[in-house]
Amino acid sequence: MVQQINAFLIVFLLTVGTSSAQGQSLALLEQEQQLRKEMDEWMKPYRMERAPDLEEWIRLMVKTNDDAWKHPVYQHIDSFYRQHRQQYHRLRKAELLRYKPAPVLLPGYKRVPDFYVPYDNKDVPLETVLQWIQGIGNFRTLGVDDMEFGTEVLYGYALQYLKAEKYLTLQQVHNQRMYGDLYFADFLRDDQWQITIINRLYVFRFNWNIADNQVSLPQFWVYSGKRQPPGWLHDQFPKSHTAAQQLNNTIGTFRWSLYDEADSEVLDFNRMVTVVSDKLTTYYQAHRQEYIGPRNEELAKYPPLDTAYANTFKHVNVELQQNLLSLLKKEVGIYRLTDFMAPNETDGSYTINYLRFMLTQYTKSDAEYGLSTWVAGNGVHSMKVREEVWEIQFFYHNFAVSFRWNIATDEVSELMVKTRENVTIDRPVGVPTETN
């Protein structure tokens, strides 16, 4: 169980927090944004003076210790949920109404009954794992994009099946699903909804109870048919009510269209990754100006810079700054977002998550897996410096990071990393710490 939770948490860190604003209407969207701000404010003490308490709770959760549910941190987040239960319910339902019903037929896909059973831990079965995961995630879950906890657990079981029964390598699995997923939502009864996730390799389906965030009855299909007709499901993306949502749909539609080309070519993994990267980069460069408006809107939603808290971090770590800069794209003395980041970036969260993930290499606690950041809030702040240039500030563990981002050119400048105490860096970014 511990290994299962640890594994999905590492993957989860790179995906959580990167979804755009959600909501079924602009009025409800404003309510959602306000509720998320209240969540962050509610958890502010656990990002600052009470951070050790949060880490203690994270250790209990990762070890699936039942005392985790009695811990003051969980009681704190659960009390917020209980106070706002009706808002959660209303916003979850509104979010689901954005999604289209799943297709009645799944041509070419074959159902795999009880796909997880051969790989289940008999002492801690999948049902129990999902109860724990969804219990942790309840506080932060307002929509489908927030359900990475449960879906990553299911993906882990599916991966084991695909490796054991279909003899696919991890690279081959990524290869065949790298153009994205489509999400669908069907109302069943009362508070039960059915979520369906489709790509060209497999289909996931499960029930989601929006009253308590529990996931049940997972189902799994594997694609084994002939190639789908060109344009299959290309117009099945969710409704959009904001510029960022529309942009995400546009990018998602473009990525999904690449499946048609992939079906007609046989490419090895390295070539496939290159093709995807090249096509996304070309697309992004042709549509760069379309990003400026949504980026301005999204960055303006963060609270202003927290100068007072930032001043509690006294030590500038030049070596760590250089290590983080090495993750960016260097061009004649300047740094830009990489071709990997830029097409996905609207509110800076993708870049922040990436930098924060690299900072986990310098921490020793269980909180490094990103769960603490997700629960307690990112601590992200922003300020518009001049036209098309924003300063972004975020806090993670014992680090305070700030940088400026030109949203028109993707140039990143004035990256600074500070710590409360002097920190000696004895390994490059990307080399993980030893785990106990």
- The residue with tokens 């992200």 is 380
Per-residue pLDDT averaged across 200-226, rounded? 92
Per-residue pLDDT averaged across 4-31, rounded? 50
Backbone angles phi, psi at 59, to 5 degrees: -60, -40
| 211 and 328 housed in the same domain | no
Distance (Å, whole) CA 252 – CA 311: 40
| 321 and 409 housed in the same domain | yes
Q: Is the pLDDT of residue 22 over 60?
A: no
pLDDT score at 241: 80
CB environment 229-242: b (16+ within 10 A), e (fewer): eeebeeebbbeebb
Quick check: is 54 in a domain? yes
Nearest to 220 by CA among 173, 134, 154: 154
| 6 and 132 housed in the same domain | yes
| Amino acid making up residue 217 | L
- The residue with tokens 């831990």 is 121
Q: Is the pLDDT of residue 6 over 70?
A: no
Distance (Å, whole) CA 384 – CA 122: 54
| 187 and 307 housed in the same domain | no
| 66 and 203 housed in the same domain | yes
Quick check: is 273 in a domain? no
Quick check: is 190 in a domain? yes
Q: Which of 230, 263, 290 delimits the end of a domain?
A: 230
Q: Which of 39-53, 135-149, 188-202, 314-328 has the highest mean pLDDT?
A: 188-202
| 20 and 137 housed in the same domain | yes
pLDDT tens digits for range 339-374? 888 988 999 988 998 888 788 777 665 555 567 778
| 225 and 308 housed in the same domain | no
- The residue with tokens 């009253």 is 211
Query: Taking a C-beta distance cutoff of 8 angstroms, is the pair 95, 78 a contact?
Result: no
pLDDT tens digits for range 62-72? 787 889 999 99
pLDDT tens digits for range 241-300? 877 888 888 888 888 888 877 655 555 555 656 776 788 888 889 889 999 999 999 999
Higher pLDDT, 353 or 20: 353
Domain that includes residue 28, residue range:
2-230
Quick check: is 241 in a domain? no
- The residue with tokens 């305070």 is 400
Query: Taking a C-beta distance cutoff of 8 angstroms, is the pair 212, 226 a contact?
Result: no
**3-class secondary structure per residue, the chain:** CHHHHHHHHHHHHHHCCCCCCCCCCHHHHHHHHHHHHHHHHHCHHHHCCCHHHHHHHHHHHHCCCHHHHCCHHHHHHHHHHHHCHHHHHHHHHHHHCCCCCCCCCCCCEEECCCCCHHHCCCCCCHHHHHHHHHHHHHHHCCCHHHCHHHHHHHHHHHHHHHHHHCCCCHHHHHHHHCCCCEEEEEEEECCEEEEEEECCCEEEEEEEECCCCEEEEEEEEEECCCCCCCCCCCCCCCCCCCHHHHHHHHHHHHHHHHHHHHHCCCCCHHHHHHHHHHHHHHHHHHCCHHHHHHHHHHHCCCCCCCHHHHCCCCEECHHHHHHHHCCCEEECCEEECCCCCHHHCCCCHHHHHHHHHHHHHHCCCHHHHCHHHHHHCCCEEEEEEECCEEEEEEEECCEEEEEEEECCCCEEEEEEEEECCCCCCCCCCCCCCCCC
Confidence band (pLDDT; 50, 70, 90) for 14? very low
| 10 and 152 housed in the same domain | yes
pLDDT tens digits for range 24-64? 466 777 888 899 989 999 998 998 888 889 989 988 887 87
- The residue with tokens 């749909």 is 249
| 82 and 174 housed in the same domain | yes
Chain centroid to CA 424: 30
pLDDT score at 73: 95
For residue 338, what are the contacts with CB-CB under 8 A and spacing of at least 6? 327, 328, 329
Confidence band (pLDDT; 50, 70, 90) for 94? very high
pLDDT score at 63: 80
pLDDT score at 65: 85
Q: Is the pLDDT of residue 12 over 50?
A: no
Confidence band (pLDDT; 50, 70, 90) for 121? confident
Q: Is the pLDDT of residue 136 over 60?
A: yes
- The residue with tokens 């290994």 is 3
Stated length of the chain = 436
Quick check: is 287 in a domain? no
| 36 and 175 housed in the same domain | yes
| 28 and 137 housed in the same domain | yes
| 28 and 131 housed in the same domain | yes
Quick check: is 209 in a domain? yes
Distance (Å, whole) CA 346 – CA 368: 25
Quick check: is 271 in a domain? no
Mean of per-residue pLDDT scores for the chain: 83
pLDDT tens digits for range 299-349? 998 999 999 999 999 999 888 898 889 889 998 889 999 888 898 899 998
Q: Are strands 109-111 and 214-223 parallel, antiparallel or unpaired?
A: antiparallel
Quick check: is 24 in a domain? yes
pLDDT score at 426: 55
Burial of 157 (0-12, 13-18, 19+ CB in 10 A): buried
| Amino acid making up residue 349 | S
pLDDT score at 369: 57
CB environment 67-92: b (16+ within 10 A), e (fewer): ebeebebbebbeebbeebeebbebbb
Q: Which of 182, 211, 230 delimits the end of a domain?
A: 230
Distance (Å, whole) CA 355 – CA 397: 13
**Percent of the chain residues topping a pLDDT of 90:** 41
- Tally of domains within the chain: 2
| Amino acid making up residue 183 | Y
Distance (Å, whole) CA 300 – CA 296: 6
Per-residue pLDDT averaged across 153-163, rounded? 90
